[in-house]
Amino acid sequence: MNLSLSDEHRMIRDMARSFAQKEIAPIAARCDETGEFPYQTVEKMGQQGFMGIEVPEAYGGVGMDTLSYVLAVEEISKVDASHGVIMSVNNSLFCYGLLHHGTEEQKQEYVTPVASGAVVGAYALTEPQSGSDAGNIRMTAVRSADGSHYVLNGTKSWVTSGPVARYIVVFAQTDSDASPRHRGVSEDTAATERAGFSQGKVEPKLGIRASATCEVHLEDYVCPVGSRLGAEGEGFKIAMGVLDAGRIGIAAQALGIAEAAYEASLQYARDREAFGQQIGQFQMIQQKLADMKCRIEASRLLVYQAALAKEEAKTTGRRYTLESSMAKLYASETAMWVATEAIQIHGGMGYSKELPVERYFRDAKVTEIYEGTSEIQRMVIARLETGLR
């Protein structure tokens, strides 16, 4: 498997790096402190093509490959993980599912404006009582007598970009008697401006604070049958496939966070002096830096390998669940570990908001949780390897 970057890949990486440094770096700390959603930079990300990198040009995107997407998420997240997750959800959880399971009309109506960055998309699977147990959802979708629409009722929680999204992919039970229950799950695309939609509480998060997250309430929400993705009852299967793609985006986000924490530590080890020498000359600091570098590069290989597996799947149809789960598990735990060590290297200054390493630490933690916790990733990997359920 060739993991070297082409000229095109280096171009998109450098373009994302330059954009992040110029447009995002000056506002990242302020947005983290205030929790303000970065509307202007998100719009600019759309204009640059970052909000729909893999989406064909016919639907408002730029039609690049998965590795290009990963490189861009990595560079954006290296400067600010909040921008990184906004971009990841837009690309992986919203556009990807619609491109693979939507009709031509759905792609034109929903993907085109979201991929171009004109509006933001979101994905609503989790509910208050069902996080890792994704099949245990209670939102219902009852089909009308004439078969023209569904009436949705229920609550979704932890909806990333929920407060600002124009369209949200929503999963609901269309057959409550299905056994097991997840076989009765269907998927619809809801427009947030319609009657019956309301936003619940905005989550006061530890990290990625500029990424708006909230509950979503649907009460007698009328959703046309034409907004359903795939056949009725296929929603859970679609959700799991979409999460395979989403985990690669989060793995890239985690890789970016880890790189930022490492580079800050490397510079601090060169600049900071103690006991008459640079702290980077102390063996214990050197050990930390060496271990950080090794884990980051191992994560990079797993993330890029997952990106290439997803790209190959476009022609072979083979699932890349194993590659995406391994990348997400290892990169997220690396981000948390590297950010923790970065604070230790910085000492008291690492605990201060004067430097960004404490933000990297707070942002890293969620990568071990959303789109499948580390525990879930280990379960997925073990089941795929053993063949046992």
Same domain, 382 and 240: yes
Domain harbouring 78, CATH code: 1.10.540.10
pLDDT in tens, 32-83: 999 999 999 999 999 999 999 999 999 999 999 999 999 999 999 999 999 9
Residue 1 placed within a domain: no
Do residues 112 and 60 touch, judged by C-beta distance below 8 A?
yes
Helix (H, G, I), strand (E, B), or coil: what is residue 188? Answer: strand
Mean pLDDT of 244-272: 98
Q: How confident is the model at residue 389 (pLDDT cuts 50, 70, 90)?
A: confident
Give the per-residue pLDDT at 185.
87
Half-sphere exposure at residue 202, Cβ-oriented, CA atoms within 13 angstroms: 11
Q: Write down the pTM of the prediction.
A: 0.96
Average pLDDT over all residues of the chain: 95
Q: What is the pLDDT of residue 10?
A: 97
- 259 and 375 share a domain? yes
pLDDT > 70? residue 228: yes
Give the DSSP per-residue string, 2-31.
Answer: --PPPHHHHHHHHHHHHHIIIIIHHHHHHH
Question: Could you give the percent of the chain with pLDDT greater than 90?
Answer: 94
Number of domains in the chain: 3
Residues 99 and 138 reside in one and the same domain = no
Which pLDDT score, from 0 to 100, does residue 98 have?
Answer: 96
Question: Is the confidence at residue 184, as pLDDT, over 90?
Answer: no
Q: Are 216 and 155 in contact (CB under 8 A)?
A: yes
Which one is predicted more confidently, 60 or 3? Answer: 60
From CA 384, how far away is CA 389, in angstroms rounded? 9
Judge contact between 60 and 111, C-beta under 8 A. Answer: yes
Quote the domain boundaries for residue 188: 122-233
Query: Residue 221 belongs to what H/E stretch?
Result: strand 213-224
**Confidence at residue 2, expressed as pLDDT on a 0 to 100 scale:** 65
* 244/378 same-domain check: yes
Which residues are the active-site residues?
371
Tokens standing for 370?
């959303």
- Please report, for residues 93, 156, 328, the alpha-carbon distance to residue 335 in angstroms, rounded to integers and kept in the order given: 22, 28, 10
**Arithmetic mean of pLDDT, 357-371:** 98
Among the candidates 190, 215, 233, a domain finishes at 233
Range 100-122 average pLDDT: 96
Give pLDDT tens digits for 127-182: 999 988 888 899 999 999 999 999 999 999 999 999 999 999 999 999 877 767 66
CB atoms closer than 10 angstroms to residue 72: 30
Please check whether residues 265 and 359 belong to one and the same domain.
yes
59 falls within a domain? yes
Q: Which residues are CB-neighbours of 37 under 8 A, at least 6 positions away?
A: 31, 163, 164, 210, 211, 212
Q: Does residue 350 share a domain with residue 322?
A: yes
Q: How confident is the model at residue 1 (pLDDT cuts 50, 70, 90)?
A: low
